[in-house]
Chain A
Amino acid sequence: MPSLKEIHDAVASGNYKDIGNLVQGAIDSGETLENIINNALSSAMLEVGDKFGSGDLYMPDMLLAAKAMKVAMEIIKPLLKGSEHLSEKGTVVIGTVKGDLHDIGKNLVITMAEGQGFKVIDLGIDVDFQVFVDAIKEHNPNIVAFSGLLTTTLANIPEHIRAIEDAGLRKSVKLAVGGAPVTQHFADMYGIEIYSPDASGAAKEFLKVLNK
């Protein structure tokens, strides 16, 4: 029977080719799903996030770990029932704002947030404000996160916020913003509750705000 440590190590090293067999082997041998999730997969992602934050791992390491995590969850998710549930920390709707086609930073935030137990709805790039509004209505998220790389497209963020306010949804969500030209000052200017200068910090900020 594959041990939890082997599963943990496979995720932490981004071994997406073997993780499926390891997880399936553990399930077949009677290991509980919650044990696999909490004591192997999530802990591996937390470790990878911390090592990335300290400069011991790099972006490809983190993305490969996320890829392994995804393979594992594809096996586990259909089997979850009853008391065996994913202890999701909350739901995040995220997208790159209208006019901007950059998604590396956004995808990194998604990786880190999922690794920390958030359910993430990815709206993609060049997202119109109405799409954000519709996604809030559909998914009832705790957090709505705007990503933008271009200074010129940051100008569209107030429009996105106004649309959420006009739809009467502003009080039901916390807003987050990130991207190279974004500053704490920018976030404060528009009353955006969550800002982080980097992706690994973003997921921690999500947790902090929801725990308040």
Chain B
Amino acid sequence: MRKGFTRKFEPLRVLSDSQVETIHKRTLEVLAEVGCKFESVRALELLKKNGCRIDLEQRLAYFPPDLVESSIRMCPSSFLVKSRDPKDNLLIGGNTLYFMSSLGARLSDIETGMVRVPTMEENNQAIFISDALDSIDLYSGYTPYFEIEGVEPVMLCSTSLAMRIRNSTKITRGTQPTDTFIWETLIAQAAGQELIGNMEAAAPLSYPEDAINAAYTYVEAGFPVYIAAGSVMGGTAPVTVAGSTISNNAELLAAIVFIQCIRPGTGIIANDCVFPMNMESGDLFFCSLGSSLHQMAFNQIWHDLYRIPTNNTGSAFPNSKKADYQSAYEKTHVAMASALSGANMIVFHGGVTAELSYNPVLAIIDDDIAMTIGKTIEGFEVSEDTMAVDIIKDVGTVPGTFLNKTHTREWWKKEYFLPKSADRLSYPEWLNSGHKGAIDKARERMEHILATHKVKPLSSDTDRELDKILNDARKYYRDKGLL
């Protein structure tokens, strides 16, 4: 089974070295002069102890440039995350690219665009299908659905994580709302695997208490942390790519200082989750040119200057309500730009209808797109064998052919990728085989996966332990009046 992709050439750069340096310096200026709000006295005191100036009343921390730069240097450029099945361990960072499954609130019919709340069985089936797709290496929090029939909203994140661990051995990310990180950490530990923790800002330049408490819990458990700011260009960040790059960098670097103060050397994945606002409605403008350019600049700065692994969320959700031409071009152009500019992780499969819905059939089609993008950054080999000069000499001129050469038989499989769901039939064959398109073929592949795929099960003891943790969580929320 494939484990991600390795970029074989230098990443695409959209900024000059001096532009990178200027953006970094101006980011330090924002952190020193504007600071960042931390809604936690405990966090502020920790930051103060490490050299930040603090305004306790305003909950503000001001960051000296030296502290920010030394904290950046403490972050490892790559690190291992352990699965409950060692075959799915991931080494994150460097020149590797992994794809992360996307998500949606509800299950969508990708031909009509209608959405509904999925059942638990549909939720688990979608995870099981993702487990079978070679190009998916890890899961977001809330994946695949963040509403499940019969699951109370406050129990969603912990229940969803338990189901991902039961139905897949791939690495997954935790979440932060309403103390869910307590239960998610316990669930991962009970299953014998590591989580990617989570700390998400509330832009501009603020961290809510949940995010701070989540970071403490995940870091103290020894997990790496995925940091995100979720700025909206024109809303919670400047509308320009350069301006929003500075504000987003400031938010993320504040988190890095805080996390490295808790435990130096903690692995960080910096997520670029910055979208322009659609000024027609105030909604987020997913899969847009603004996201794409922002991510390219982000990848360059974080890869070249900070040497911290990156994730890009810009291609997670097309605006289209269906699996159609718009859905494919919106996602592909953003994800390809991410991959070429050096992203280590891209959120991609199955999301549709902005972030409102998900569909496993679409995830199967997205598997083909992700494989094509991943194979692109792997480039091609230039060697005596691949240059094939001896064979060119042997074949000579017309009527010579390369088709009957062992070299052809060997290399077309190595260098090409045959999408599994795409229609590549000749027109007469297509007419004779039921006029099938990519969605039909993806549905067939889904049936095949459901009939043949196997996931290493949890032991019955571990399974019972997960149930116990979920029951404890339920009691905890009931006692707090949230259930």
Chain A interface residues (CB < 8 Å from chain B): 55, 58-60, 99, 101-102, 104-105, 108, 126, 150-156, 159, 180-181, 198-199
Contacts and interface: CB of A to CB of B under 8 A. Distances in A.
Nearest to B239: A60
B178 A99 contact: yes
Given A99-B210, A104-B232, A155 B152 contact: yes
B279 A152 contact: no
A159 B153 CA distance: 13
B202 A101 contact: yes
Size range of the chain B interface in the assembly: 20 to 34
Interface string B198-210: 0000100010101
5 contacts: A105-B282, A150-B177, A152-B156, A152-B177, A181-B105
Contact of B234 (A60, A99, A154, A155): A60
A67 B125 CA distance: 51
Contacts of A199: 282
Contact of A151 (B105, B152, B283): B105
Nearest to B147: A151
B146 interface: yes
Contacts of B386: none
Interface centre among B153, B235, B280 (most CB of A within 10 A): B153
B236 interface: yes
Contact of A152 (B154, B206, B281): B154
Nearest to B210: A99
A153 B279 CA distance: 25
Given A151-B156, A152-B154, A198-B281, 8 more contacts: A58-B279, A59-B234, A59-B279, A59-B280, A104-B235, A151-B146, A156-B482, A181-B356
Contact of B279 (A60, A105, A159): A60
A102 B284 CA distance: 13
Contacts of A102: 202
A152 B283 contact: no
A108 B235 CA distance: 11
A84 B312 CA distance: 56
Contacts of B279: 58-60
Contacts of A150: 177
A152 B178 contact: yes
B369 interface: no
B159 to A, nearest CB: 12
B277 A59 contact: yes
B282 A155 contact: no
B434 interface: no
B157 interface: yes
B481 interface: yes
Contacts of A154: 153
Contacts of A108: 282
Contacts of A126: 208
A126 B208 CA distance: 10
Interface in B440-483: 481-482
A41 B210 CA distance: 42
Contact of B146 (A58, A60, A104, A152): A152
A76 B146 CA distance: 48
**Leading 3 A-B pairs by shortest Cβ distance:** A155-B153, A58-B279, A101-B202
A48 to B, nearest CB: 14
Interface centre among B152, B282, B356 (most CB of A within 10 A): B282
A181 B481 CA distance: 23
A99 B154 CA distance: 11
Contact of B282 (A59, A151, A159): A59
Given A58-B280, A181-B105, A151 B153 contact: yes
Given A58-B280, A155-B482, A101 B208 contact: yes
Interface string B205-244: 0101010000000000000000000001011100000000
A104 B210 contact: no
Contacts of B481: 159
A97 to B, nearest CB: 12
B40 to A, nearest CB: 14
Nearest to A162: B481
A40 to B, nearest CB: 26
A134 to B, nearest CB: 18
A159 B482 contact: yes
B177 A104 contact: no
Contacts of A156: 482
Contact of A104 (B105, B147, B282): B282
Given A60-B234, A99-B210, A126-B208, A180 B283 contact: yes
A201 to B, nearest CB: 11
Nearest to B115: A183
A105 B208 CA distance: 19
Contacts of A181: 105, 356
Nearest to A59: B279
Nearest to B283: A180
A156 B146 CA distance: 16
Given A58-B280, A59-B282, A152-B177, A101 B153 contact: no
Contact of B177 (A59, A153, A198): A153
Contacts of A58: 279-280
Contacts of A151: 105, 146-147, 153, 156
